[in-house]
Structure 1
Amino acid sequence: MDSRIRQHAAVIVDRCIDLQPDENVVVSLPPVAEDLRVALYEKIGEVGANPVMLARGDRGIGTDRAARAYLQAIDAEDLSTPEHLLQLYEHADAAVVGRPHRNVTEQSDVSTELGAAFAEAHRDVLNARLSTKWCLTQYPAPADAQLAGMSTAAYEDFVYDAVNKDWDAVEDHQQQMVDILNPAEEVRIVSGDTTDVTMSVADMTTLNDCGSNNLPAGEVFTAPVPDSVEGEVVFDKPVYHQAREIQGAALTFEDGEVVSFSAEQNEDVLAAILDTDDGARRLGELGIGMNRDIDRFTYNMLFDEKMGDTVHMALGRAYPETVGEGVEQNDSAKHVDMIVDMSEDSFIEVDGEIVQRNGTFVFEDGFDA
């Protein structure tokens, strides 16, 4: 086995979920990630914890092919919360979820409406999983390498360079941005002449993603006050959702809500996201990518949202840990991240002060106020 896989497993178990003896952990990885499954079980055994395996995602319906067959066969009105899966996560202390694929477009012929209904039926399952010590990660499967336009070997290097890092050093560097955002009242994002959006982050909490949940990590993120978002934003990186590529998504916000939208490609998929529920028309996250080892777009949001010189905004559910006491949490069955390139003709402004210009932060060499 590649030694980098065992290193990956060790980071997950020791840092991301901090697994302890006798704890119950759900490992959710498809068969294509068998080596990581084995390495995780080996590490979990060393800790003395109790694992159980699911084959796909956090929704317990098997492989991508099995999931497609199920969704093609069932009527949306027959979908309901799978209570047995909910019970599993309610009794789990930790969860490791990976999403490698044998075919990244396996569900491309499943309707977006059915996909939204399925997400809604699993809302309580998602909430239960997010209440554990959870980690979402990636295994370098050939289909994901193909989607990224890379050879399998090059993609393996890309993945392991991104996940097997000195996360203590990353934490120290990113904490400088956390310290700017945590006491802030308002954030403004400007990119070119297409994006100018403001939002309140008053009383919200900014988190330092440095190998605690997502792996790879490499961002700081918070939640906007739901009704505070104003302005227009064009997401100049594609959104890959339910095996479909949304290009050129543009949103206009008033009083926190999306009041108009468009897309250059697959606008119907964007519409289905927004129509999932009321919370899907509001932002649940503002994230700032700070991992410069992720230097290319790969159609994998777990990596893409961490790219240096980017920000991302998520329609839908806010992470409870980012929502201040007494402040409304945006709730939704969806959490869909979308990316803005901040490398040129762009800036982030916090309480009237520019803290990043063209990808360079105020605490870095080369910052031009």
Structure 2
Amino acid sequence: MDPRIREHAETIADHSTGIEAGENVVIAMPREAEDLAVALHEVVGDRGANPVYLNNSERASRAFLRACADGSDEDGGEFETPDHQLALYEETDVVVIARGGANVSEQSDVAPETTAAYRRAMQPVLKERLSKRWCLTQFPSSGHAQLAGMSTEAYENFVWDAVSLDWDAQRAHQAEMVEILDDADEVRIRSGEGTDVTMSVAGNTTLNDYGEKNLPGGEVFTAPVRESVEGEVHFDMPLYRQGREIEGVRVRFEEGRVESYSAERNEEVLDGVFDTDEGARYLGELGIGMNRNIDRFTYNMLFDEKMGDTVHMAVGAAYEECVGEENEANESAEHVDMIVDMSTESVIEVDGEVVQRDGTFVFEDGFE
């Protein structure tokens, strides 16, 4: 086994989740990531915790979704919340999930409305899982390497270099942006001719993602005040969802709500997202990518949203930790991130002051 896999497992157990003796741990990942699952079982055993292993199979999920949708009407079919899965997470202390399946397009022939209906049914399970200590990470499978346009070896190096960062140094770097946003009332983002959007973050908390719940980490993020978002956004970096590439997304917000949208390619996938529930038409997250070790776009949101010189916004559920007591947390079965390139002709303004111009922050050398 590649020694970097054991290092990856130790980073998850010690840095990301802090697994302790006697705790119940769910390890969920595809067959292609079995080496990481084995290493995690060794590490969990060393720490005296109790693992349960779930094989996340995209093929099996596809088969179930298509079978349930067969002959259904336009709502995508009916699904029940799996109470047995909910019970598992109720008894769990830590959840570790790894992506890395063989075929990233496995669910490309599942109708968007079916996916939306299933996510609605799964919302209680997702909410319970997110209430635990959790980590989402990536195993460098050949399928994801192909999607990224890289050889398997090059992708392995890319992934393991990204997860083995000096996370204390990254935390300190990002803390300067956290301090700026935590005291803020209004954020304005402008990029090119297509993006000019404002939102309030007053009363909400900004979190510093340095490789805990997401591994790799490398962003700061908060929740917009639900009805405060106004303006237009051109998400000029692609989104890969449900086995399909969505390009050239444009969204217009009024009083926080998505009032119109379009995409140059695979717009019907967006239809399924925004029709999931009412909360899917509101922003749940504003995130600023600050990890410059992630230096290329790979069609994998776990990495792409952390890239330096980017901003991402997620329609759907807000993270409760970000929402202040006086504000309403946006609730939804969806949480879909989309990215804006901020490297040229772009600024982030906080309360009228420019804090980033063309990707360079006010606290960095080279800011003008």
SS at match of 1:122: helix
Equivalence for 2:244: 244
Rounded Cα–Cα distance in structure 1 between residues aligned with 2:221 and 2:285:
7
Rounded Cα–Cα distance in structure 2 between residues aligned with 1:294 and 1:71:
34
Rounded Cα–Cα distance in structure 2 between residues aligned with 1:110 and 1:7:
36
Rounded Cα–Cα distance in structure 1 between residues aligned with 2:352 and 2:326:
26
The answer to whether 1:336 aligns with 2:330 is no
Equivalence for 1:71: 65
The letter for the 2-side match of 1:175 is A
Rounded Cα–Cα distance in structure 1 between residues aligned with 2:267 and 2:107:
18
Q: For 1:1-12, what aligned pairs fall within 5 Å after superposition? A: 1-12=1-12
Are the counterparts in 1 of residues 203 and 324 from structure 2 also a CA contact under 8 Å? yes
Equivalence for 1:41: 41
Rounded Cα–Cα distance in structure 1 between residues aligned with 2:163 and 2:308:
15
Equivalence for 1:59: none
SS at match of 1:78: coil
Provide, for residues 280-312 of structure 1, a one-character-per-residue CA deviation record: whole Å limited to 9, x for no partner: 000000000000011111010000000000000
Equivalence for 2:94: 94
Rounded Cα–Cα distance in structure 2 between residues aligned with 1:296 and 1:226:
32
The letter for the 2-side match of 1:35 is D
TM-score (norm 1): 0.97
Are the counterparts in 1 of residues 9 and 43 from structure 2 also a CA contact under 8 Å? yes
Rounded Cα–Cα distance in structure 2 between residues aligned with 1:143 and 1:262:
29
Gaps of 5+ in 2: 70-75
Equivalence for 2:159: 159
Identity %, equivalent residues: 63
> What's the RMSD between the two structures over aligned residues?
0.7
SS at match of 1:297: coil
Q: For 1:48-197, what aligned pairs fall within 5 Å after superposition? A: 48-56=48-56, 63-75=57-69, 76-197=76-197
Q: For 1:269-308, what aligned pairs fall within 5 Å after superposition? A: 269-308=269-308
Are the counterparts in 1 of residues 115 and 272 from structure 2 also a CA contact under 8 Å? no
Provide, for residues 70-105 of structure 1, a one-character-per-residue CA deviation record: whole Å limited to 9, x for no partner: 111113443110000000001100100111111111
SS at match of 1:108: coil
Once the two structures are TM-superposed, the CA of residue 143 in structure 1 deviates from its matched residue by 0.3
Rounded Cα–Cα distance in structure 1 between residues aligned with 2:211 and 2:108:
31
Equivalence for 2:73: none
Provide, for residues 306-353 of structure 1, a one-character-per-residue CA deviation record: whole Å limited to 9, x for no partner: 000000000000011111113100000000000000000001000010
Once the two structures are TM-superposed, the CA of residue 211 in structure 1 deviates from its matched residue by 1.4
Once the two structures are TM-superposed, the CA of residue 173 in structure 1 deviates from its matched residue by 0.6
The letter for the 1-side match of 2:64 is Y
Rounded Cα–Cα distance in structure 1 between residues aligned with 2:55 and 2:285:
29
Rounded Cα–Cα distance in structure 1 between residues aligned with 2:78 and 2:193:
46
SS at match of 1:198: strand
Equivalence for 2:31: 31
Equivalence for 1:354: 354
Equivalence for 1:321: 321
The letter for the 2-side match of 1:290 is M
SS at match of 2:354: strand
The letter for the 1-side match of 2:96 is V
The letter for the 2-side match of 1:190 is R
SS at match of 2:366: coil
Rounded Cα–Cα distance in structure 1 between residues aligned with 2:307 and 2:150:
17
Rounded Cα–Cα distance in structure 2 between residues aligned with 1:65 and 1:192:
40
Rounded Cα–Cα distance in structure 1 between residues aligned with 2:13 and 2:161:
18
SS at match of 1:9: helix
The letter for the 2-side match of 1:103 is N
Rounded Cα–Cα distance in structure 1 between residues aligned with 2:77 and 2:103:
28
